[in-house]
A = this chain, B = another copy of it.
Amino acid sequence: MGKYTIKDIARECGVGVSTVSRAINNHPDINPQTKQLILDKISERQYIPNNSARNLKKTETNTIAVLIKGIANPIFHQMIDIIQSEILSKDYAFILKKVGFDEDETVVASEIIREQKIKGIVFLGGIFTHTEERLKELTVPYVLSTIAPNTSIDGNIYSAISVDDVAESCRMTEYLIENGHKRIAMLQAKKEDLGVGYLRLKGYQQAFKNHNIPMKRNLIIYSDSKSDGDLFSMENGYKLAKKLIASHKDFTAIFAISDRMAIGAIKALTEEGIRVPQDISVVGFDGLDIARYYIPSITTVKQPVEDMARETIYQLFRLIKGSGVNKHMVFEGTIVEGESTRAIKKRGS
């Protein structure tokens, strides 16, 4: 038995040593039949992993990496708190890595996998623009958290936890429509956006369609295509609202696609002597704490961040333990009514 090595197991099973190591270490990234074959062979040969195999295992510290895109977004801070405590409670270490807006998180992830031998990854924030090829290169389990699935990619190869941005955006827009607003301006990401900006635009369009109200395309204010950095910021909301005001378009409400943009918009309106909500109603998206503490408090769609954070880790550990298949979980938001909106008498648009 002492002479029987991991290489012998590998040879007899017709697989590589690393595949045997995966089977031993219960790594999810292995064909279940192959795994069974290897475990049977190990059992048959009464093979005890030797030093080299144990060392192989030892170098893999039990660490989960959380890659965060948009660290200034307060929605993630609460999630990180929960994610961290859930990870630590499972006796895993936790590392947090900031990814720039112009970085490809799958490339960053591949580097970490190579260098730090982590057990799993949470991608927090950002948008789903990764190719199937890139995702397949990730050799550890991962969950996309607060990132909506990309329907053009095989759903079986990734796990995603998110709200349905189309449905929630539709819900928020319908709230305004039901309060008598028909000319609703939208503060948006770039026109070319394929992430939450695009999805929230679709929800906005859907709401008008549902209520048989013509949507005014010229009330959609896009971010400058050339701008980089955080488009969901207060600064960008402020800029877009100033542009909207200067255009002298006719509108009764503004839907900013983040709470921070809504804050910037309310500040801009206030500076121009336009009262919120007496003159213009403003809504945001996310349900941040500051939405409650702002003056006026801001009507918004609250994302269930606590539940999403817990589900992210639950799903990741199912994958790590090899007992899970990739899943897409969709959570529902809730409208939180603030002081920034009012019902208006219905009149012709």
Residue among B80, B84, B98, B264 making CB contact with A293, cutoff 8 Å: B264
A95 within 8 Å of B by Cβ? yes
Q: Would A95 and B93 be within 8 Å (CB), given that A72-B74, A115-B61, A263-B293 are in contact?
A: no
Interface residues of A in 60-106 (CB under 8 A from B): 61, 71-72, 74, 77-78, 80-81, 84, 93-98, 100
Q: Which residues does chain B contribute within 8 Å of A94, judged by CB atoms?
A: 97-98
Asked if A255 is an interface residue, CB under 8 A from chain B, the answer is: no
Q: Output the least CB separation between A181 and chain B (Å).
A: 22
Given contacts A115-B61, A238-B293, A293-B263, contact A97 B96 (CB under 8 A): yes
Query: Cβ of A234 and Cβ of B293 under 8 Å apart?
Result: yes
Find chain B residues with CB under 8 A from A235 CB.
Answer: 289
A290 at interface, CB cutoff 8 A: yes
| B96 and A98 form a contact (CB under 8 A) | yes
CA distance A93 to B290 in the complex (A): 33
Chain B CB within 8 A of A18 CB: no
Question: Do B295 and A267 have beta carbons less than 8 Å apart?
Answer: yes
Copies of the polypeptide in the assembly = 2
Which chain B residues border A264 with CB–CB below 8 Å? 293
Nearest CB of B to A299, in Å: 16
A234, B290: Cβ atoms closer than 8 Å: yes
Majority DSSP secondary structure for residues of A touching B: helix
CA distance A272 to B116 in the complex (A): 53
Interface residue count for A (Cβ, 8 Å)? Answer: 31
Q: Mark A137-165, 1 if CB is under 8 A from B, else 0.
A: 00000000000000000000000000000
Known: A234-B290, A293-B263. A80 touches B71 (CB 8 A): yes
From B71, B78, B270, A295 is in contact (CB under 8 Å) with B270
A294 located at the interface, meaning its Cβ lies under 8 Å from any Cβ of chain B in the complex:
yes
Query: A266 near B: Cβ within 8 Å?
Result: yes
A4-16: CB near B (< 8 Å → 1, else 0) gives 0000000000000
> Which chain B positions have C-beta within 8 A of A290?
234, 263, 290
Does the CB pair A267–B293 fall under 8 Å? Answer: yes
In this complex, which of A72, A94, A290, A295 has the most chain B Cβ atoms within 10 angstroms of its Cβ?
A295
**Restricting to A302-322, which residues have a CB under 8 Å from any CB of B?**
none
Enumerate chain B residues within 8 angstroms of A81, measured Cβ to Cβ.
Answer: 71, 98
Instruction: Taking A71-B77, A290-B290 as given, write out 5 further A-B residue pairs in contact, using a Cβ cutoff of 8 Å, ordered by the A residue number.
Output: A72-B78, A80-B98, A81-B98, A84-B98, A96-B98
In the complex, the 7 A-B pairs of residues with the closest C-beta atoms, listed nearest first: A72-B77, A96-B96, A234-B293, A267-B293, A295-B295, A263-B293, A95-B95
Give me 20 A-to-B residue pairs in the complex whose CB atoms sit less than 8 angstroms apart, sorted by A's number: A61-B115, A71-B80, A72-B77, A72-B78, A81-B98, A84-B98, A84-B100, A94-B97, A96-B96, A96-B98, A116-B116, A234-B289, A234-B290, A234-B293, A235-B289, A264-B293, A267-B295, A294-B294, A294-B295, A295-B295
